[in-house]
């Protein structure tokens, strides 16, 4: 065996021995009746990032310290441990129960913030159902209302803004999907609802343009009897868009849709097909 191989073998042996020693030590702590030993080991494990080792110890300590002076600290550490392993549902639950169970503890405000932070993390991506996102926004607003002078207020507001943008994106993508699949009547309704629900959204300009396009496409697919009305809707939508976004990069496209709508109506009037009765 070469010297290099000898050193590698020695290192692996030392590493294996260290792992066995640590495993044996952990098992001894688990079996021990020494509550302080468990607490010290669990706290050290959490501090060093060995959260999965800390978790069963804190679970046991919760039962052992119930009703004692150590209960708040154990409850707090347990909530932190669930947060450490990314179990945000249980972490939120334990931070919330900490605040309810120990209302005079100086960490209550932080506990409430950490709870809503878990809700923020549980908000799914925009393509999925946004029930959890709306709940997280409500919880963050409640936190800011409860602690109006909190140093965590700016962070809370920033999270609310992030979640709101996610809802705006969800509404925008839903409306665009109607447009993409050719359901133009539903598209215009969804776009108008998105504009009303989220004023000031970064997607508003695009939505106003897509309303013109949806009206135009819907008109072009309609029977002769409905085209007059629907091309007029496109024209009215253009005027709204142009008054709000005169410098829009979409103005050229919007103008072409407007011109085509005006031309279509002129042709309808020439042929006498401007009736507005239903299909």
pLDDT digits (tens, 9 = 90+) for 175-192: 999 999 999 999 999 999
Task: Give the DSSP H/E element, type plus range, for residue 120.
Answer: helix 108-122
Predicted TM-score of the model (pTM): 0.82
> Would the pLDDT of 92 be above 60?
yes
Q: Does residue 277 surpass a pLDDT of 50?
A: no
For residue 261, count CB atoms less than 10 angstroms from its CB and return exposed for 0-12, middle for 13-18, buried for 19 or more. Answer: buried
pLDDT at 138: 97
Q: Rounded to whole angstroms, how far apart are CA atoms 261 and 63?
A: 74
Q: 128-133: long-range contacts at Cβ-Cβ below 8 A with a sequence spacing of 24 or more?
A: 130/166, 130/167, 130/170, 133/163, 133/166, 133/167
- Tell me the Cα Rg of the chain: 31
Q: Mean pLDDT across the stretch 243-258?
A: 97
Domain 170-279 has CATH 1.25.40.10: yes
Q: What is the pLDDT of residue 17?
A: 36
Q: What is the mean pLDDT of residues 101-110?
A: 97
């Amino acid at each position: 065996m070469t010297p290099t191989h000898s050193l590698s073998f020695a290192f692996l042996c030392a590493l294996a021995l260290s792992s066995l020693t640590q495993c044996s030590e952990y098992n001894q702590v688990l079996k021990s009746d020494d509550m302080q030993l468990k607490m010290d080991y669990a706290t050290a494990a959490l501090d060093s990032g060995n959260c999965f080792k800390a978790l069963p110890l804190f679970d046991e300590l919760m039962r052992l310290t119930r009703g004692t002076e150590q209960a708040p600290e154990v409850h707090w550490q347990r909530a932190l441990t669930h947060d450490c392993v990314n179990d945000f549902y249980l972490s939120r639950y334990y931070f919330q129960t900490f605040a309810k169970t120990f209302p005079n503890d100086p960490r209550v405000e932080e506990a409430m913030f950490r709870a809503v932070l878990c809700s923020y993390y549980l908000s799914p991506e925009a393509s999925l159902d946004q029930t959890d996102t709306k709940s997280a926004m409500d919880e963050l607003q409640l936190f800011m209302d409860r602690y109006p002078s909190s140093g965590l207020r700016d962070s809370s507001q920033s999270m609310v803004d992030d979640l709101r943008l996610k809802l705006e994106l969800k509404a925008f993508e839903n409306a665009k999907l109607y447009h993409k699949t050719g359901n133009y009547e539903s598209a215009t309704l969804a776009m108008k609802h998105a504009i009303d629900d989220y004023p000031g959204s970064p997607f508003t300009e695009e939505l106003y343009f897509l309303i013109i396009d949806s009206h135009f496409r819907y008109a072009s697919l309609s029977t002769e009897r409905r085209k007059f009305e629907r091309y007029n809707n496109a024209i009215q939508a253009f005027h709204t868009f142009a008054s709000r976004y005169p410098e829009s990069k979409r103005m050229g496209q919007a103008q072409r849709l407007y011109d085509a709508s005006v031309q279509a109506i002129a042709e309808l009037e020439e042929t006498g097909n401007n009736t507005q009765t239903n299909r």
